[in-house]
Each structure stands twice: as C-alpha cells, then as structure tokens.
C-alpha cells in the first residue's frame, strides 16, 4: 500500500504547497549502523508499542531539502562515523572540515521537531530562546546552499507596502528586519561538540546498555545560560549549544563562577546530568516494558521473527 502523499510547507526552505517527504530526525544512515539484523525494527522505549521500521520520520522537508541534507549525512558517515565504529567505539577519529554542518543539520531538525511537532516548551519563557535558535540554525543551513532552490522566509522585508506611510517605530522595525535578513548567520555564541560516553565518565556497562539506544532532544540549564540540542547513539554524544549571554547568572561562590567560565567542561557536566536523568527514566520504564513483552506472546513472536534472520553485526 502506497503511503499517503503529504502536501504542505517545507520546514527548511519555506516553499508552500509542495510534497513533503518522510524525513528522518536522526539520519537513516545512523539507524542502519545500529541494526543487528536486516529486518530489525525500532521501538519507542517510552511508548513500547510504537514501532519504527527504519527510524522516526516526520513529513518535514521537500525532496530538494532532503537531498541537500543527504550530502552532509553521507559525508559524516564515510569520514567520521564508520571510522569511529572501526575503532570499536573507544576513541574519536579526527574531525573533518565541514562536520559542523552535519551536526547543525541534525540539531535543527531536533529543535524544530521539539518546537513545532511536539509543541514543547509551551507557555514557558524558554520557548522564545529555542525559537530564536531554530531560526538561526535554519538561516545558517539555507545560506550554505548551492542548489537552485529559492528560499522563502518570514524574515524577508515586505516590499509590497513600500509606498505606504509608516510611523517612526514601524520604519525602525522595518530597518532592523532588513538588516537581520541581509546579514549572514555567523553562529555567534553557538558551538558544536562531539564527546564519547567514556569521555563523560560512563562505565563500560552503561555504555553497552546505551548501545542500542538512539535519542535526541533539546534541554536548557536552570540558569538559562546553556541551551543544548543533542543526539546520542553508539557511544557518541553530539551537541549543539547556544550560550545565552543575555541571561543573568549570579554564582553562589567563586568555584561556580570558575566552572561557568569553563565552557566545554560546563557543557559536559550538563550533558552528563541530562543523560543521568534519561537513564533514570529508562529504569522506571523497564518493568512496564517487560510486562508488554510478556503479554500476548510478544516475546515469543520476537524470538520467532529473528530466529532465522540474517545477522549483519
């Protein structure tokens, strides 16, 4: 049965009334490196009956934008991920020029998904900052394009009302909008990092536990200084962080002040706290998931499904 065609607005280029692809949030090439069998399927650990054939997908991007992201995904897989896996997940290979573009392409998808599909951070003042981050990452990705796609953005100056009289305030806003639209995104206060779970201090036992998990979402620190979008798979933790310099942070002592100045260490600490929280949620969900596996012969059906399946890793 063919899948229903979805017509809508592309989240990246902004073109409307265009066919949307089933876009992976975490790239399909990552899922293919996680699969143990050719016919492996994935489950949402926190909604165990929800199955994915080859990863979570959403109607998000047009065909051209899918192809645009594909080049970053293939490059990342060939130049970094496969080399990392060849090292048995123990150390990181050298990072190639352009790896940042892959990281940002995934981070943008995650934060867009969080904001506009899951509708996260509703009725919180943090949402405005996340929306700003999404907008900046999208602008950066679009300005890198070398294809012939015309990008539409709500930030473009409105030239249809050029002859209408405007108040002084409206003219100031129009000027600011034009400046922001024409100024290239420099990613000021935005950084990308790649760590291993080992580097973050996790034991071999926990690294093995996480080996079959793929996750990605956004979170921020309590002091609002750090807004992080991260993904985690195969022992890798890949993060995009926005340092919100407008936030006011009053440290309680000199030690905390020193810690806040050590950006990379501060990020690693925040990531570890978040991953520890995720680990606690995994533990809480475990009994319920075992009940599901033990009901309706589910465990036996899974064993039968993979009994004669071809193992690929």
8 Å CB contact between 188 and 243 = no
What residues does 57 pair with on adjacent strands?
24
- Taking only the tens place, the pLDDT of each residue in 175-216 is 545 555 578 999 999 999 999 999 999 999 999 999 989 999
Separation of alpha carbons 241 and 69, rounded Å:
20
Q: Work out the angle at residue 295's Cα, subtended by the Cα atoms of residues 40 and 276, and round it to the nearest 5 degrees.
A: 65
Q: What is the mean pLDDT of each run of 10 residues along the chain (313 residues)?
A: 80 98 96 87 91 91 98 98 88 95 98 96 93 98 96 65 55 50 88 96 94 95 94 97 76 59 86 97 96 93 87 77
Cα separation, 313 vs 311, in Å, equals: 6
pLDDT, one tens digit per residue, over 261-303 is 578 899 999 999 999 999 999 999 999 999 999 999 999 999 9
Closest CA to 30 of 69, 62, 68: 69
| Whether 263 contacts 191, CB under 8 Å | yes
Strand pairing category for 215-220 and 190-196: unpaired
Query: In this predicted structure, what is the pLDDT of residue 261?
Result: 56
């Amino acid at each position: 049965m063919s899948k229903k065609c979805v017509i809508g607005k592309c989240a990246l280029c902004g073109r409307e009334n265009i066919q949307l692809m089933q876009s992976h949030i975490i790239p399909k090439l990552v899922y293919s490196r996680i699969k143990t069998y050719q016919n492996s399927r994935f489950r949402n650990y926190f909604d165990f009956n929800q199955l994915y054939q080859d990863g979570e997908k959403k109607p998000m991007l047009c065909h051209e934008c899918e192809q645009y992201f594909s080049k970053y995904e293939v490059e990342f897989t060939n130049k970094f991920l496969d080399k990392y896996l060849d090292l048995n997940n123990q150390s990181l290979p050298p990072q190639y020029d352009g790896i940042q573009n892959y990281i940002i392409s995934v981070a943008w998808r995650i934060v867009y998904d969080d904001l506009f599909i899951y509708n996260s951070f509703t009725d919180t003042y943090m949402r405005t900052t996340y929306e700003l981050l999404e907008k900046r990452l999208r602008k950066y990705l679009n300005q890198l394009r070398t294809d012939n796609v015309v990008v539409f953005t709500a930030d473009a100056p409105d030239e249809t009302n050029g002859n209408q009289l405007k108040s002084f305030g409206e003219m100031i806003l129009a000027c600011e909008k034009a400046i922001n639209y024409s100024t290239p995104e420099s990613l000021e206060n935005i950084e990308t990092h790649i760590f291993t779970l080992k580097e973050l201090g996790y034991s071999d036992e926990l690294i093995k536990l996480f080996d079959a998990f793929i996750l990605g979402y956004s979170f921020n620190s309590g002091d609002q200084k750090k807004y992080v979008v991260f993904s985690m798979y195969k022992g890798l933790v890949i993060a995009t962080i926005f340092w919100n310099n407008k936030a006011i942070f009053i440290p309680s002592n000199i030690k905390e002040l020193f810690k806040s100045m050590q950006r990379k260490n501060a990020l690693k600490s925040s990531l570890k706290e978040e991953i520890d929280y995720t680990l606690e949620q995994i533990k809480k969900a475990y009994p319920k998931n075992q009940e599901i596996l033990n009901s309706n012969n589910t465990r036996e059906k899974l064993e039968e499904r993979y009994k004669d399946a071809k193992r690929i890793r």
